[in-house]
């Protein structure tokens, strides 16, 4: 076992002892709702004194409770002695924690029937709730009592159309794209008492709530699942008596089988989809190649094997559920029956030839995909590079307990540290990667890294139990929270800590840099800002040492897309590296990924205006002090003007009178040594 010997990364503060607190943070970062092992509701301001019960009105329990962020509130289900489990909301205060509606005023086994499966759709929250008269049915709320109503009694009578016994599902897709305004329909599965569990759709009205199709006719169930948006269609799995469980699609009102991947009544074993370049990738065993990489575009002809990564019937078992898309490819982990290979990481552009090995020969491994999503303040599986355009990997090359932490740009894989225990958790923020490793004391400790051994620092000497609830929890108001069991109680209830590691409350959607004549145009978008002050636009000759050349004032606080831009009018000859330094009003900052823009040393040539009447202005960048020859010719190659020009390093500007030439198209030719460039210009 290798040990990590690094200096402390920062301080951590214990906020609560043996409470086993877990939490949900609102999307705007303003409300943190937690519950302890007894269901008491807690809140925190990041201090020990401010970590306390939020209210005594209700009890919660995450095995029953659902949470969703909505218009400055957290809507959740909670238990009250007088009402049982009902629909509540809170703004983070005791007085602001109120009952939305007593949906089932009559006692109705309410401990087992809380409102559940909250989904945001068309500006409201849809969910399933039960009454003695209807059982579980589809409901909607706008956060008010009057606006909380049943959408439709799909299965008339007391049975209800949805059950929570694990055999029937509410919203059969986990795809967040289907839970937003990107689609005009919300898809779910239910049993109307006549057709079994089938796919249904709703536009939010009773009349628009209807079965998509009785895929498995009669009372038998098709049990739709894994719904994923592909263009205007939803791709999903469903079962019928003829084909077993196979790929289906719908755009609403009807559904169609895409392909019988496993002919006959046998079923496919697809467990997840990866959306990439308007196609869905998945793992499937066709009975010949074993579990391998497949693709579908929603048609039968376009549903096919991508590559037999482990040739033969053994299969490579690609893990699409932990894939990440970056550098115009996606990263997957595969496992083979070949003992010499065992585990490997592969990159794929979606084609057979473009699916190649990145790293191999480890016993076990994991693509570190979980990341902090500031829109939800929770951990999700990511499908884009979560750390400055790079991805962290875990790989254990021997049977020792711990393995190595690596970082990759999709082309090369670089070791970071030798000891990383994936089972103890990790956490991405936009500024760093946090993980659990074995410290100098020989015990587990929390670490953060910027992707190098030198930048990897420990959070003091906080010990972890090998049994209890340890790991990173959430980000609240820019600080990272974690829970840790220090082995001081028989139940292994964990303590709550806040780290000194600030996380910038800003979501950078994208950052681009493009050549525009002699300039570099930079543009970026944010989807969320909180207390953001300004952006410092920086550039570098070597990608290491950066200098600021422009500052752009930020919107400050926003939950909508914000657009920003900057222009570098003097890019370096050769390659210029660009990045953003994003600064909060309290001085905290984080960096974007870096982007290189390359001009050949002698390629920066432009003319203005074009078309021109009298004076042609020429701009030319040189990599050193030199001489060049400038020529003006007509389109037949006849030389109209030729002169020697001395150039100095950087941008050189010249003006040439051209009023004497006839209207038409001409060429400007600049010769520097062996390099010749030409531009067309128009005389009018």
Q: 608-649 pLDDT, tens per residue?
A: 999 999 999 998 877 778 888 888 988 777 889 999 888 888
* pLDDT value of position 417: 84
- pLDDT band at residue 209 under the 50/70/90 scheme: very high
* Mean of pLDDT values over 179-196: 77
The b/e string for 368-388 (b: 16+ C-beta within 10 A; e otherwise) is: bbbbbbbebbbbeebbebbbb
Identify which of 20-34, 264-278, 496-510 has the greatest average pLDDT: 264-278
Q: What is the DSSP letter of 422?
A: G
Q: Is the dihedral of CA 450, 455, 459, 461 positive or negative?
A: positive
Specify whether the backbone of 396 is left (phi greater than 0), alpha (psi in -120 to 50) or beta.
beta
Using the predicted structure, report yes or no on whether residue 26 has a pLDDT greater than 50: yes
* Mean of pLDDT values over 518-536: 84
- pLDDT band at residue 583 under the 50/70/90 scheme: confident
Q: Which backbone phi and psi does 82 adopt, to 5 degrees?
A: -75, -30
Q: 322-337 pLDDT, tens per residue?
A: 788 887 889 998 886 5
Q: Are 582 and 589 in contact (CB under 8 A)?
A: yes
Using the predicted structure, report yes or no on whether residue 256 has a pLDDT greater than 70: yes
* pLDDT value of position 445: 76
Among 51-55, 271-275, 375-379, the range scoring the smallest mean pLDDT is: 375-379
Interacting residues of 582 by C-beta distance below 8 A, sequence separation 6+: 504, 506, 508, 532, 535, 554, 589, 590, 591, 592
Q: Which backbone phi and psi does 177 adopt, to 5 degrees?
A: -65, -25
* Mean of pLDDT values over 111-138: 85
* Mean of pLDDT values over 290-319: 93
Distances (CA, A) of 170 to 175, 252, 379, 528: 13, 17, 22, 30
* pLDDT value of position 85: 86
* pLDDT value of position 207: 95
Which of residues 18 and 379 earns the better pLDDT score?
18
- pLDDT band at residue 349 under the 50/70/90 scheme: very high
Q: How many CB atoms lie within 10 A of CB 211?
A: 18
* pLDDT value of position 230: 86
Using the predicted structure, report yes or no on whether residue 163 has a pLDDT greater than 90: no
* Mean of pLDDT values over 144-148: 97
Using the predicted structure, report yes or no on whether residue 8 has a pLDDT greater than 50: no
Which of residues 591 and 64 earns the better pLDDT score?
591
Order of all β-strands in the sheet with 495-502: 12-16, 495-502, 479-484, 471-476
Question: CA 448 to CA 455: how far, in whole Å?
Answer: 8
- pLDDT band at residue 422 under the 50/70/90 scheme: low
Q: 385-404 pLDDT, tens per residue?
A: 456 668 888 877 655 545 78
Question: CA 14 to CA 459: how far, in whole Å?
Answer: 13
Order of all β-strands in the sheet with 355-362: 324-326, 329-335, 343-348, 355-362
* Mean of pLDDT values over 276-284: 93
Q: Are 533 and 514 in contact (CB under 8 A)?
A: no
* pLDDT value of position 179: 44
Of 549, 556, 511, nearest in space to 529 by CA: 556
Distances (CA, A) of 309 to 323, 325, 356, 383: 16, 19, 9, 21
Q: Are 433 and 368 in contact (CB under 8 A)?
A: yes
Question: CA 186 to CA 181: how far, in whole Å?
Answer: 9
Using the predicted structure, report yes or no on whether residue 341 has a pLDDT greater than 60: no
- pLDDT band at residue 339 under the 50/70/90 scheme: very low
Q: 41-54 pLDDT, tens per residue?
A: 898 888 899 899 98
Q: What is the mean pLDDT of the chain?
A: 80
* Mean of pLDDT values over 426-439: 74
Using the predicted structure, report yes or no on whether residue 348 has a pLDDT greater than 80: yes
Q: Is the dihedral of CA 492, 496, 501, 506 positive or negative?
A: positive
* pLDDT value of position 79: 87
Which of residues 239 and 597 earns the better pLDDT score?
239
Interacting residues of 455 by C-beta distance below 8 A, sequence separation 6+: 449
- pLDDT band at residue 63 under the 50/70/90 scheme: very low
- pLDDT band at residue 458 under the 50/70/90 scheme: confident
Q: Are 86 and 60 in contact (CB under 8 A)?
A: no
Q: Are 385 and 324 in contact (CB under 8 A)?
A: yes
**Which domains does the chain show, CATH number per domain?**
506-599 (2.60.40.10), 605-683 (2.60.40.2550)
């Amino acid at each position: 076992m290798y040990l990590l010997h690094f200096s402390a990364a920062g301080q951590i503060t214990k906020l609560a002892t043996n409470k086993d607190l877990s939490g949900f943070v609102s999307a705007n970062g303003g409300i943190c709702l937690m519950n302890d092992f007894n269901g008491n509701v807690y809140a925190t301001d990041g201090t020990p004194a401010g970590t306390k019960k939020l209210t005594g009105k209700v009890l919660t329990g995450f095995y029953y409770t659902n949470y969703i962020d909505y218009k400055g509130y957290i809507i959740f289900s909670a238990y009250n002695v007088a009402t049982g489990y009902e629909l509540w909301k809170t703004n983070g205060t005791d007085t602001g924690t109120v009952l939305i509606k007593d949906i089932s005023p009559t006692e109705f086994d309410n401990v087992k029937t809380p409102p559940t499966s909250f989904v945001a759709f068309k500006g409201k929250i849809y969910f399933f709730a039960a009454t003695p008269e209807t059982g579980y049915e589809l409901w909607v709320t706008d956060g008010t009592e009057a606006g909380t109503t049943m959408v439709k009694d799909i299965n008339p009578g007391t049975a209800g159309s949805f059950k929570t016994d694990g055999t029937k599902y509410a919203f059969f897709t986990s795809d967040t794209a289907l839970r937003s305004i990107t689609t005009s329909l919300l898809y779910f599965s239910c049993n109307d008492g006549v057709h079994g569990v089938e796919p249904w759709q709703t536009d939010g009205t009773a009349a628009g709530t209807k079965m998509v199709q009785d895929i498995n006719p009669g009372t038998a169930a098709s049990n739709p699942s894994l719904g994923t948006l592909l263009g205007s269609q939803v791709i999903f799995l469903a079962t019928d008596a003829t084909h077993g469980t196979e790929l289906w699609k719908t755009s609403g009102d009807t559904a169609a089988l895409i392909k019988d991947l496993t002919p006959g009544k046998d079923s496919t074993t697809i467990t997840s989809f990866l959306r990439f370049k308007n196609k869905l990738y998945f793992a499937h065993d066709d009975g010949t190649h074993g579990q391998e990489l497949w693709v579908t575009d929603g048609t039968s002809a376009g549903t096919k094997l991508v590559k037999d990564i482990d040739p033969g019937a053994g299969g490579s078992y690609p893990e699409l559920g932990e894939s990440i898309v970056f550098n115009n490819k996606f990263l997957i982990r595969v496992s083979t029956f070949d003992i010499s290979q065992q585990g490997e990481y592969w990159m794929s552009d979606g084609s057979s030839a473009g699916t190649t090995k990145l790293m191999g020969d480890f016993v076990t491994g994991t693509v570190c995909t979980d990341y902090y999503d500031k829109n939800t303040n929770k951990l999700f599986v990511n499908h884009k590079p979560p750390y400055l355009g790079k991805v962290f990997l875990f790989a254990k090359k021997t049977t020792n307990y711990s393995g190595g932490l690596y970082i990759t740009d999709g082309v090369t894989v670089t070791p970071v540290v030798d000891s990383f225990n994936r089972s103890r958790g990790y956490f991405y923020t936009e500024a760093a990667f946090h993980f659990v490793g074995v410290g100098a004391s020989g015990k587990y400790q929390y670490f953060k890294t910027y992707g190098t051994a030198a930048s990897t620092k420990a959070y003091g000497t906080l010990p972890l139990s090998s049994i209890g609830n340890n790991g990173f929890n959430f980000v609240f108001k820019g600080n990272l929270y974690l829970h840790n069991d220090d082995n001081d109680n028989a139940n292994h209830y964990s303590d709550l800590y806040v780290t000194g590691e600030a996380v910038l409350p800003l979501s950078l959607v994208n950052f681009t840099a493009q050549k525009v004549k002699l300039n570099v145009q930079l543009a970026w978008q944010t989807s969320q800002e909180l207390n953001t002050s300004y952006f410092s636009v920086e550039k570098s000759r070597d990608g290491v040492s950066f200098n600021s050349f422009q500052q752009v004032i930020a919107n400050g606080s926003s939950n909508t897309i914000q657009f920003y831009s900057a222009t570098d009018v003097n890019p370096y000859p050769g390659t210029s590296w660009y990045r953003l330094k994003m600064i909060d009003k309290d001085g905290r900052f984080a960096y974007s990924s870096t982007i290189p823009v390359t001009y050949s040393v002698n390629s920066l040539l432009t003319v203005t205006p074009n078309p021109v009447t009298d004076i042609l202005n020429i701009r030319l960048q040189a990599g050193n002090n030199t001489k060049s020859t400038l020529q003006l010719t007509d389109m037949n190659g006849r030389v109209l003007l030729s002169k020697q020009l001395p150039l100095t390093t950087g941008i050189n500007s010249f003006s040439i009178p051209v009023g004497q030439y006839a209207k038409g198209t001409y060429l400007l030719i600049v010769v520097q040594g062996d390099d010749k460039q030409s531009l067309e210009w128009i005389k009018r």
